[in-house]
A and B are shown apart, each in its own frame.
Chain A
Amino acid sequence: MILHVCRILGLAVLTIALLAPLVQTLLLSFVSTLPRDDIAKGALTLLNYRNLFQDPDLVRSIWASLSYVTTNMVICIVVGLPAAYGLSRYSFVGDRHVFLLLIAFRITPPVVLSLPVFLLFAQVDLLNNPLGIALVHCLFNVPITIWILESFISAVPREFDENAFLDGHSVPGFFVRHMLPLIAPGVAVAAFFCFIFSWVEVVFARILTSTGGKPISMAIEGLFGFQTDVGLVMAMTTLSLVPGIVLVFLTRNYVARGFQITA
């Protein structure tokens, strides 16, 4: 009984601690934080949100963010699924090195590669373009996707593939029609992690969008200046959390159903 109360209490404290910085942000997003003619500083208002949607740069940044993250997820799943399948089902010359390479690239800090990535992307015309960010974020998201999908594929018995191939499916047909429905939870979990790491990344996003195509994080950074409208910054930050919350909500049961990861 006492244990039960402690547990509830502990979880409540945890929830409050995790929410505190966010509550602060949410509160400020409803407060007018600049001296204005028609409204007192510190008054409660929806003004920040109205200003946000009237600023074309900010609205454009929301679309830029959504489009690069979606593109990144699609690329990661499309190249990650066959790779995970190959690594799960076969051993081949160099498979261990592939695995090492995946981990190494996953944990390479963006700041280490930011300059050459900028120079490379300038040559192939990928600057200020959501596709550029989507591609460079594959550096850490493709390994994560492969890692997660491999654990789900390994849980599918090999006989399943053999039966599918005996039915006479091509390799792409096999992945789309047979494998994908079976490991849908894995795809959801992988997409969730791709989103988490891509949506919030700023080092690559900054260096690749110096003059245009800025995602939300960079658009917010552009709001800081001589007289920063803190309320507007907080409104934008609050808004930036919404797509993630939706995604977490949709994938919560898949994450909770559990997955195992092995080497």
Chain B
Amino acid sequence: MKRHSNAAWWYVAPALAILGFVGLIPLLSVVNYSFFDIFTLESRFWVGTEWFDELVGSADLYVTLGRSLLFSGLALLIQFPLGLLIALNIPKNGLGRSILLIVLALPLLVPWNMIPGMWLGLIDPELGLLGRIIAGTGITFDYKFNAVHTWLLLLAMDTWHWVGLVAILAYSGLSSIPAPYFQAARIDGARRWAVFRFIQLPRLRGVLTMALVLRIMDSLMIYTEAFGINAGGPGKATSFLALELGEDIAAFNYGPAAARSVLYFLIVLLVAWTMTATLRRHGGTNG
């Protein structure tokens, strides 16, 4: 049981001071900007909720939101089952384990702006390792003008990039399950699926929730990698939420960009709140 003491605020204060400086102050200025028409920072005009009305009133926003949700949903549907499957099959010890953990972490270490270039090199029909194989089968893979192909490429790239995170977190959670749990299950004659469903999965809830929070937001707000592949194209087929915001900023539309940022932060809050509420409901004594 935790002890109640408001003096514990002192422990948290330094961390909150830093987050206040790099998070809260910028956030408040964004909220402030979103009510102005900004030419330069010195000459700006109060426009009230005009940017918000414009944004919320346009169908574009909802189309983009749907597009991002679809991408995020597909990415999670691929990456979580795959990541879990990998984690369950990583050897418990030995050289194989070390090699696999390092290989799984490798994609996480590449600077994000390099990833699109790597993949475009990989699928280059003349020079790329994968591109030559695809060309050999006679399929024309046209990520520039075929929206389905762009999506496939983005999903493959995103899965390559992030499945390691899901697998590593899940593996770490699995490793913390005490051995007697499995011995008991074996004595009871439990099947593999039952062991997974009733012993492993419940003990993974914490780490999987963390992985889920990270993956939902990162895939929903994918920016650098998607921009590098096709800059939102063909047409607007891969123009996700963050890309539209990036476009606003690049065009110096600071007022509308700020309004959009505020809206996105509300989405962030909604996701964060849902997650804490879920964790708390299942958290039992730890709440």
Contacts and interface: CB of A to CB of B under 8 A. Distances in A.
Interface of A: 7, 10-11, 14-15, 17-25, 28, 75, 78-80, 82-83, 85-87, 89-96, 98-109, 111-117, 119-120, 135-136, 138-139, 142-143, 146-147, 151, 154, 189, 196, 199-203, 216-217, 220-221, 230, 233, 237, 240-241, 244-245, 248-249, 252, 255-263
A260 B206 contact: yes
A180 to B, nearest CB: 15
B57 interface: no
Given A119-B29, A217-B114, A258-B175, A142 B15 contact: yes
12 contacts: A15-B103, A17-B160, A90-B8, A92-B9, A104-B272, A119-B41, A200-B112, A217-B114, A220-B113, A252-B97, A255-B101, A256-B97
B269 to A, nearest CB: 6
Contacts of B8: 86-87, 89-92, 95
B273 A100 contact: yes
B146 interface: no
B18 interface: yes
Contacts of A104: 265, 268-269, 272
A102 to B, nearest CB: 8
Interface residues of B, number: 103
Interface stretch (B44-52, B72-80, B183-191, B207-215): B207-215
Nearest to A230: B121
A239 to B, nearest CB: 11
B235 interface: no
A255 B249 CA distance: 39
B223 A249 contact: no
Contact of B112 (A85, A114, A120, A201): A201
B140 interface: no
Contacts, number: 291
B19 A20 contact: no
A260 B173 contact: yes
Interface stretch (B59-67, B193-201, B279-287): B279-287
B86 A14 contact: yes
A92 B5 contact: yes
If over half of A's interface residues share one DSSP class (helix, strand or loop), that class is named, otherwise mixed; here it is helix
A263 B277 CA distance: 9
Given A24-B128, A90-B8, A263-B280, A112 B23 contact: no
A20 B122 CA distance: 8
A256 B104 CA distance: 13
A25 B129 CA distance: 10
Interface in B9-33: 9-12, 14-19, 21-23, 25-27, 29-30, 33
A262 B17 CA distance: 24
Contacts of B218: 107
Interface of B: 2-12, 14-19, 21-23, 25-27, 29-30, 33, 41, 86, 89-90, 96-115, 117-119, 121-122, 128-130, 160, 164, 168, 171-177, 203, 206-207, 209-210, 213-214, 216-218, 221, 223-224, 242, 245-246, 249, 254, 257-258, 261, 264-265, 268-269, 271-273, 275-276, 279-280, 283, 286-287
A134 B155 CA distance: 30
Among A98, A117, A221, A262, the most chain B Cβ lie within 10 Å of the Cβ of: A262
A138 B175 contact: no
A90 B6 CA distance: 8
Given A92-B9, A109-B217, A112-B30, A100 B276 contact: yes
